[in-house]
């Protein structure tokens, strides 16, 4: 292990990263709260401000992936589609097999300049997670309860509100509904067998209703669906804790651009189209497993410096007063004050560890671990 790698694995470095993220995130949440009156005066200006504020949070996590861990990201795609990425609204269909697949999605959003404005379809519980969840509220993220009778109307209304969004965005969608695990896969394939659908080897059965509602409400706004399939070289299973420890991974992403007009408007036909798409995604994963690469040429967008610059800005802004405070505490010699400071740092570290825990596969959502009779689209 080199000296730099040894430094990245130290708890003190992790504590500094966590401190910068937590404090800057809470400051940004407060600034977002201050934009509430502006929504009444100029909705579009409030949106543009919140896009920049959201970027300040999201890009810190991207900086951890790209600059701290040094993770490489390779894109396989059609060179003719490449110039359109970042210059149009799009629905991005992602597979959901890794703890950091959302972070890789954000990384490609950053490389094409749409990180601050991009959206996801997220479970309602995430709206209450400090910093990320609160930031998403002001970014007009679409939240759902995973109860179709309630979600159909609320999701449609949220998507309709995005029709006049002032900047290009990607809507990141996990059609499988939950992260892949062997147990969920077994149950999902039982559902596929009961419905006479072809079985999938590397994916869960897609939830078609949410996809159809998304496509229908973004027609005329989104130009295409980006079918995206992610994998990591050497059969690695990356984690956020691994990223925090500075471990380097190599992500490969295969993207196909499918114009939205090619997707059927009828719900049943759209469902059949999505099932066929996932059969194709399964074949791409099979190809990757056998050859170590996806089909097609490599067109890799370069890293941009802005995520690193943003992190350095917040680090300089927040670490200087922290250093002065620590110096005063040490010079004061008060044991009670020092113990209180240690307790505060420990609480901050545990807070970040809890947020990281929400991404871990073995502590993930139980959605999908249901009886076959209840598992339906």
Reply yes or no on whether the pLDDT at 148 is more than 80.
no
CA distances from residue 150 to 147, 178, 373 in whole angstroms, order as listed? 6, 19, 20
pLDDT at 342 over 80: no
- Which three-class secondary structure state does DSSP give residue 270? helix
Mean pLDDT, range 149-155, rounded to an integer? 83
Nearest to 19 by CA among 327, 244, 246: 244
Q: Which two tokens stand for residue 357?
A: 């825990």
Given a contact cutoff of 8 angstroms between Cβ atoms, the answer to whether 153 and 72 are in contact is no
Cα separation, 311 vs 305, in Å, equals: 10
pLDDT of residue 374: 44
Instruction: Name the residue with higher pLDDT: 14 or 114.
Output: 114
Answer yes or no: is pLDDT of 99 > 50. yes
Confidence of residue 160 (pLDDT cuts 50, 70, 90): very high
Mean pLDDT of all residues in 335-351: 68
From 145-154, 159-168, 249-258, 274-283, the region with the lowest mean pLDDT: 145-154
**Mean per-residue pLDDT over the chain, rounded:** 87
Q: Identify the weakest region by mean pLDDT among 78-87, 210-219, 295-304.
A: 295-304
User: From CA 240, how far away is CA 65, in angstroms rounded?
Assistant: 9
pTM to 2 decimal places: 0.88
β-pairing verdict for 119-123 and 142-144:
parallel
Measured between alpha carbons, how far is residue 238 from residues 55, 74, 87, 359 in Å? 23, 16, 30, 11
Over the stretch 171-205, which tens digit does the pLDDT of each residue have? 999 999 888 899 999 999 999 999 999 999 999 99
Looking at residue 152, what is its pLDDT? 84
User: And the tokens for 33?
Assistant: 């709260």
| Predicted confidence band of residue 372 (pLDDT cuts 50, 70, 90) | very low
pLDDT band at 307 (very low <50, low <70, confident <90, very high): very high
pLDDT of residue 88: 97
Task: Kindly tell me if the per-residue pLDDT of 371 is higher than 60.
Answer: no
- Report the percent of the chain where pLDDT is more than 90: 64
Contacts of 155 (CB under 8 A, 6+ apart): 121, 142, 144, 210, 213, 214, 217
Measured at the CA of 15, the angle between CA 13 and CA 21, to 5 degrees, comes to: 105
User: Which residue, among 256, 247, 249, has the nearest Cα to 278 in the 3D structure?
Assistant: 256
Give tens-digit pLDDT for 224-257. 999 999 999 998 989 888 998 899 999 999 999 9
Cross-strand pairs, 142:
121
Would you place residue 127 in the very low, low, confident or very high pLDDT band (cuts 50, 70, 90)?
confident
d(CA 179, CA 239): 14
Residue 331 pLDDT level (bands cut at 50, 70, 90) = confident
Q: What is the dihedral of CA 144, 147, 148, 149, to 10 degrees?
A: -110
Q: How far is CA 179 from CA 85, 133, 161, 183, in A?
A: 26, 19, 28, 11
CA quadruple 44, 49, 52, 57: dihedral, nearest 10: -120
Q: What is the pLDDT of residue 44?
A: 97
- Both tokens of residue 202? 């590397």
- Rounded CA-CA distance 265/224 in Å is 14
Helix (H, G, I), strand (E, B) or coil at 252: strand
Q: Is the pLDDT of residue 110 over 50?
A: yes
For residue 275, what are the CA distances in angstroms to 129, 192, 281, 335, 345? 33, 10, 10, 63, 48
Whether the per-residue pLDDT at 112 is higher than 50: the answer is: yes
**What pLDDT sits at residue 289?**
93
How many angstroms separate the CA atoms of 376 and 197, rounded? 13
Residue-level pLDDT at 367 = 56
């Amino acid at each position: 292990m080199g000296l730099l790698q040894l430094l990245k694995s130290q708890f003190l470095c992790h504590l500094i990263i966590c401190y910068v993220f937590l404090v800057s995130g809470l400051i940004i949440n407060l600034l977002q709260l201050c934009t509430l009156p502006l929504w009444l005066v100029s909705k579009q200006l409030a949106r543009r401000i919140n896009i920049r504020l959201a970027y300040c949070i999201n890009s810190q996590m991207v900086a951890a992936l790209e600059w701290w861990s040094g993770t490489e990201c390779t894109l396989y795609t059609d060179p003719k589609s490449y110039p359109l990425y970042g210059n149009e609204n799009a629905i991005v269909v992602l597979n959901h097999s890794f703890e950091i697949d959302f972070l890789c999605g954000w990384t490609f959003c950053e490389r094409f300049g749409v990180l601050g404005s991009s959206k996801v379809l997220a479970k309602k519980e995430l709206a209450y997670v400090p910093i990320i969840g609160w930031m998403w509220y002001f970014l007009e993220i679409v939240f759902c309860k995973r109860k179709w009778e309630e979600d159909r109307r609320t999701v449609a209304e949220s998507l309709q509100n995005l029709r006049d969004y002032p900047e290009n965005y990607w809507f990141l969608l996990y059609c499988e509904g939950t992260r892949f695990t062997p147990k969920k896969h077994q149950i999902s394939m039982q559902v596929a067998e009961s419905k006479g659908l072809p079985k999938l080897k590397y994916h869960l059965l897609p939830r078609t209703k949410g996809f159809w509602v998304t496509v229908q409400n973004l027609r005329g706004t989104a130009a295409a669906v980006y079918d995206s399939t992610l994998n990591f070289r050497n059969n690695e299973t990356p984690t956020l804790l691994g990223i925090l420890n500075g471990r380097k991974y190599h992500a490969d992403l295969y993207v196909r651009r499918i114009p939205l007009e090619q997707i059927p408007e009828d719900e049943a036909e759209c469902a059949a189209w999505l099932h066929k798409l996932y059969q194709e995604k399964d074949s791409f994963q099979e190809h990757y497993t056998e050859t170590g690469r996806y089909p097609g040429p490599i067109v890799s967008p370069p890293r941009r410096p802005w995520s690193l610059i943003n992190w350095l800005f917040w680090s300089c802004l927040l670490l200087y007063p922290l250093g002065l405070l620590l110096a005063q505490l040490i010079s004061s010699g008060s044991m009670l004050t020092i113990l209180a400071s240690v307790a505060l740092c420990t609480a901050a570290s545990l807070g970040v560890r809890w947020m990281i825990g929400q991404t871990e596969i073995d502590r993930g959502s139980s959605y999908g671990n249901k009886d076959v009779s209840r598992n339906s689209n």
